Amino acid sequence: MDRTSQNQYVEFSIGNENYAILISEIHEIIRMLDITEIPNSQSYVQGVINLRGKIVPVISLRSMFAMENGSYTKSTRIVVVNHSEESVGIIVDGVNKVTTFSDIQAPPERVGGISGSYFVGIGINNEHLVGILKLDEVLLRE
């Protein structure tokens, strides 16, 4: 695997699951904002936000991964990532920390009921296993 344990990741939670994104792919992390819904969009597309004058689409991994809907709390954040020269917001229940992994294993076919194609790998550190998201698969989903 070409991603070494020296790379830094932002680890976040959705429900009881922990996920991570390579820190270099993250533009910023913001508190929850009012989201304007987009009619006739995919169920996981929550709408758009106005981020300092820039319209940014926002998706819910909870909906994408067919997890039970949860309400937003004061810990809810939008992780804004840069992908293919566009910004996309991802709603997460909470941002845990910036971390590195002592080992990254290839993902199995299914990770907790979710297709392994959404993951670059499974990060292992002293505390637990973390699914490292493959943004190409998550954001370019049809």
Q: Which residue has the tokens 């910036």?
A: 98
Average pLDDT of the chain, as a whole number: 90
**Residues 94-140 pLDDT 10s:** 999 999 998 999 998 988 778 889 999 999 987 789 999 999 888 87
Q: Identify whether 62 is part of a domain.
A: yes
- Check residue 2 and give its pLDDT: 47
DSSP code, position 68: P
Q: Model-level pTM?
A: 0.89
- Check residue 141 and give its pLDDT: 66
For range 69-75, the mean pLDDT:
90
Helix (H) or strand (E) holding 138: helix 135-139
Task: Please report which confidence band the pLDDT of residue 142 belongs to, taking 50, 70 and 90 as the band edges.
Answer: low
Three-state DSSP at 137 gives: helix
For range 77-81, the mean pLDDT:
97
Split into its structural domains, the chain has a count of 1
Rg of the chain, C-alpha, whole Å? 15
Q: For 46-61, b where at least 16 C-beta lie within 10 A, e where not — what string?
A: bbbbebeeeebbbbbb
What proportion of the chain, given as a percentage, has pLDDT over 70?
95
Q: What is the CATH number of the domain that holds 116?
A: 2.40.50.180
- Check residue 37 and give its pLDDT: 94
Q: Identify whether 1 is part of a domain.
A: no
Q: Identify whether 2 is part of a domain.
A: no
Q: Identify whether 3 is part of a domain.
A: no
**Residue 50 structural domain:** 8-140
